[in-house]
């Protein structure tokens, strides 16, 4: 008989015990995670039952894979977009919670006689609530749609990011062997740098990659591709000095921005459940009952401090953020537990030798107690609020009622705040990208070419040319005044003379950074004296400043990034609107939209003697006369997209029209002398698909869901700036199942409208960002 590997017998034992225990816990209506931990305790060596796991090393490897998949799926639910959406509220709540729990944890640890580092890490671990447990409890108790759940999820999103930072700090401590402020700062800057690089490259490349392969992505291939990307990022993260869990989390958060995220979540759930179960079982296997008995009072104390502290500090944070007392207390009671991140951090600290061996079992025991109490704490929030309200002095009740009834008056931020916020975000993004290219050139490209080109000088020159070619669009963007804040700069320039020196300084900083990048490459790879390199660098900078080609190249890159970043949210918003309007399948809508049945696009060429020659578009009233709009005028093979009303027509111009299929009405008008361009008549959907094949600035058609906070909400089309500012044309609107083709300029845009626009791809993506994502 063939020998059975110990790994298989160990897995059989683990799964059999886990299946019995988890069914029991399910029957008792307790969290399944606790069942896995108990199963691990029974399967491990510490209890003394037979049989037990033989090869713990192999099980630990499987558990490590479980951590990766657990973090990967948490990343799929995280999304960097969600982090921007929760905004100040989530950050404020976590700041209050983190300060309070770090202080409590540190004090408790020191009182118990622990080392300062163990005490500090204890405070960090008890700050992190269990996303898995809270979501499960909310579903079981049907609390997911309650108002306070929004605040809880906002807090969990920020807590996930805090956990990522803590993983990096623990890894740094393991390397440096001491708590150094410089090392911590360097680790945080390194984390921010790689997060920006990975996020921007991931959003630019991966959604496009998945869209190109969409016809080939059935469930099997999508699962393999997703896991390949996950493990590939794991390897990359470890190579640059981060943990494998962080790499899995980052890839999950990148895939969370793609349109395939729901399928990926569904396909990877069985893997997450299986490997996650092994991870939690392995956690239970490490529980030593002797240690638990030895530290029983610290466990009880830390459990009470965790539940009470999180209840108080989360409630305080939610209350400070502007919520009612009831919502605040419900949020605090819901988050009074710790879970999977505490396991992971404690295990990471122990494996790297950063923390004492006692901390891991204590954290596990505290987690078991707090998770067991979690559903009861959630149910207790309502009676606790009534009890507090009943015992509250009447004066306090009056103040609370005034606070809750008072309408929040949102103070508009000043021009300086808006300018500096946009300026520094843009500066950091571009600087990180440029720095990333310089690092890749130094660390990888230069050694690669020098090993293959005998004469080193030619290898250096080639590295210089490639690096300059790659960063030149970013340098051009760095020196360019973005339309988003050029108006703010103009307002500040004219408002006060003293503002001008600061505005000049801001511009000078961008120029200096761009010039510094050029000089670095030239000094690094060009063997010329300084007196020659400095003027050559100035010439290159001037060339980059004046290059329209580089600006267009950057705009195309930015447009592709914005479209990929916004695609999933757009699809979700469209799905909600279509659901309200009775459309069953959004994908069917995209493939054969109602606009395709009512709106066509076609080309007409202006011939000699036409009455249109010499007239501006605003004089011709195509929209009023024929319900048509001119979306492009091609002249001498140059495409003028979305021309304004002052555009004057000439002989030979080719007009790309959009509207009802009235092409034959126009052709029959002999005075107009317009010739139909063969094969140019097509549906709007077909035209949009054709445009994606163009390399020049192309037109894009998209629907924009309007919310109450959207800048367009409540404005008439004529006052919206869609044409004058954004260079986009409105071709249709949907409102409460009513569909309007080429709406009049007096038409008002209302919340819940779906406004269909056509314009250059970059402008459409900016519109989407301004009206959907920055709110």
User: Taking the chain (775 residues) in consecutive chunks of 10 residues, what is each chunk's mean pLDDT?
Assistant: 73 87 85 82 74 75 82 78 64 87 89 85 85 71 73 78 77 64 73 84 86 85 92 88 82 85 89 84 78 85 90 88 83 83 77 76 83 82 84 78 60 73 85 91 88 80 91 89 62 81 89 92 88 91 87 77 70 54 41 57 82 84 74 86 87 83 52 69 72 72 79 84 81 77 81 84 78 57
User: What are 734's strand-pairing partners?
Assistant: 739, 754
Q: What is the pTM of this model?
A: 0.69
Q: Could you tell me how many residues make up the chain?
A: 775
Cα distances from 85 to residues 78, 231, 407, 594, in angstroms, run 12, 28, 22, 31
Q: Which residue has the tokens 């130094």?
A: 442
Place of tokens 């008056």: 409
* pLDDT, tens digit (0-9, with 9 covering 90-100), for 10-60: 888 888 988 998 899 888 877 787 788 888 888 877 776 667 777 777 777
pLDDT at 577: 47
What is d(CA 90, CA 79) in angstroms, rounded to the nearest whole number? Answer: 14
Q: What is the pLDDT of residue 591?
A: 42
CB 654 within 8 A of CB 633: yes
The SS3 assignment for 676 reads strand
CB atoms within 10 A of CB 431: 19
The CA-based angle 7-11-12, given to 5 degrees, is: 120
Backbone region of residue 706 per phi and psi (left: phi > 0; alpha: psi in -120 to 50; beta: other values): beta
Rounded to whole angstroms, the Cα distance separating 641 from 634 reads 8
Query: Under a CB-based contact definition with an 8 Å cutoff, are residues 115 and 121 in contact?
Result: no
- Name residues whose C-beta falls within 8 Å of residue 146's C-beta, 6 or more positions apart in sequence: 330
- Neighbouring CB atoms inside 10 A of 83's CB total 17
In the chain, count of helices (H) and strands (E)? 31, 10
Residue 322: DSSP 8-state: T
Pairing mode of beta strands 638-641, 628-635: antiparallel
The three-class DSSP label of residue 329 is helix
Are 299 and 354 in contact by the 8 Å Cβ rule? The answer is no
- Residue given tokens 């044309």 in the structure block: 729
How many CA atoms are closer than 13 Å to the CA of 148, on its beta-carbon side?
24
CA–CA dist 591, 769 (Å, integer): 23
């Amino acid at each position: 008989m063939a020998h059975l590997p110990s790994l298989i017998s160990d897995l059989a034992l683990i799964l059999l015990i886990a299946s019995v225990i988890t069914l029991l816990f399910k029957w008792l209506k307790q969290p399944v995670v606790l069942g896995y931990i108990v199963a691990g305790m029974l399967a491990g060596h510490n209890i003394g039952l037979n049989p037990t796991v033989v090869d713990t090393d192999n099980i630990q490897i499987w558990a490590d894979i479980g951590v990766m998949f657990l973090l990967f799926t948490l990343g799929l639910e995280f999304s960097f977009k969600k982090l921007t959406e929760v905004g100040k509220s989530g950050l404020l709540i976590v700041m209050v919670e983190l300060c309070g729990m770090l202080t409590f944890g540190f004090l408790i640890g020191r009182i118990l006689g622990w080392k300062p580092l163990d005490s500090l890490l204890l405070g960090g671990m008890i700050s992190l609530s269990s996303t898995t447990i809270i979501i499960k409890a909310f579903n079981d108790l049907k609390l997911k749609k309650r108002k306070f759940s929004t605040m809880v999820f906002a807090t969990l999103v920020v807590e996930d990011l805090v956990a990522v930072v803590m993983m990096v700090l623990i890894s740094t401590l393991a390397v440096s062997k001491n708590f150094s402020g410089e090392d911590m700062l360097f680790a945080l800057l390194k984390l921010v740098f790689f997060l920006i690089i990975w996020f921007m490259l991931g959003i630019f490349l991966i959604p496009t990659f998945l869209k190109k392969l969409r016809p080939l992505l059935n469930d099997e291939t999508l699962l393999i591709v997703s896991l390949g990307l996950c493990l590939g990022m794991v390897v990359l993260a470890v190579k640059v000095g981060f943990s494998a869990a962080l790499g899995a989390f980052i890839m999950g958060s990148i895939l969370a921005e793609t349109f395939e995220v729901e399928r990926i979540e569904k396909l990877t759930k069985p893997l997450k459940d299986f490997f996650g179960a092994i991870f939690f079982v392995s956690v239970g296997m490490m529980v030593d009952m002797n240690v638990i008995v030895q530290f029983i009072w610290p466990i009880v104390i830390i459990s009470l401090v965790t539940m009470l502290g999180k209840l108080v500090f989360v409630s305080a944070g939610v209350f400070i953020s502007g919520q009612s007392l009831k919502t605040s207390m419900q949020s605090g009671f819901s988050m009074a537990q710790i879970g999977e991140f505490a396991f992971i951090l404690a295990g990471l600290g122990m494996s790297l030798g950063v923390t004492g061996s006692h901390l891991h079992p204590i954290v596990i025991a505290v987690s078991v107690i707090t998770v067991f109490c979690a559903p009861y704490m959630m149910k207790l929030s309502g009676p606790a609020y009534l009890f507090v309200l009943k015992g509250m002095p009447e004066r306090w009740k009056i103040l609370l009622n005034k606070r809750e009834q008072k309408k929040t008056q949102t103070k508009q931020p000043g021009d300086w705040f808006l300018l500096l916020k946009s300026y520094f975000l843009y500066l950091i993004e571009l600087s990180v990208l440029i720095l990333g290219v310089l690092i890749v050139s130094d660390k990888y490209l230069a050694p690669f070419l020098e090993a293959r080109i005998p004469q080193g000088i030619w290898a250096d020159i080639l590295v210089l040319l490639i690096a300059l070619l790659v960063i030149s669009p970013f340098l051009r963007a760095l020196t360019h005044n973005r339309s988003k804040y050029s108006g703010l700069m103009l307002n500040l320039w004219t408002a006060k003379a003293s503002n001008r020196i600061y505005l000049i300084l801001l511009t000078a900083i961008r120029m200096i950074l761009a010039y510094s990048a050029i000089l670095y490459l030239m000094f690094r790879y060009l063997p010329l004296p300084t007196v020659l390199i400095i003027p050559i660098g100035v010439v290159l900078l001037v060339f980059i400043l004046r290059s329209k080609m580089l600006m267009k190249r950057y705009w195309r890159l930015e447009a592709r990034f914005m479209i990929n970043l916004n695609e999933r949210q757009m699809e979700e918003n469209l799905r909600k609107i279509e659901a309200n309007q009775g459309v069953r399948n959004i994908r069917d809508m995209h493939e054969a939209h109602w606009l395709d049945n009512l709106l066509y696009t076609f080309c007409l060429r202006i011939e000699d003697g036409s009455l249109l020659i010499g007239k501006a578009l605003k004089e011709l009233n195509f929209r009023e006369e024929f319900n048509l709009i001119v979306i492009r005028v091609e002249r001498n093979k140059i495409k003028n997209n979305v021309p304004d009303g002052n555009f004057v027509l000439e002989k030979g111009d080719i007009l790309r029209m959009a509207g009802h299929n009235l092409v034959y009405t126009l052709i029959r008008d002999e005075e107009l002398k317009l010739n139909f361009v063969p094969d140019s008549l097509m549906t709007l959907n077909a035209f949009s698909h054709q445009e994606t094949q163009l390399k020049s600035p192309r037109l894009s058609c998209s629907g924009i869901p309007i919310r109450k906070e959207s800048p367009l909400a409540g404005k008439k089309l004529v006052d919206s700036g869609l044409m004058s500012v954004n260079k986009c044309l409105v071709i249709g609107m949907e409102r409460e199942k009513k569909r309007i083709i080429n709406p009049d300029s007096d038409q008002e845009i209302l919340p819940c409208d779906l406004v269909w626009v056509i314009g250059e791809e970059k402008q459409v993506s900016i519109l989407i960002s301004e009206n959907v994502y920055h709110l």
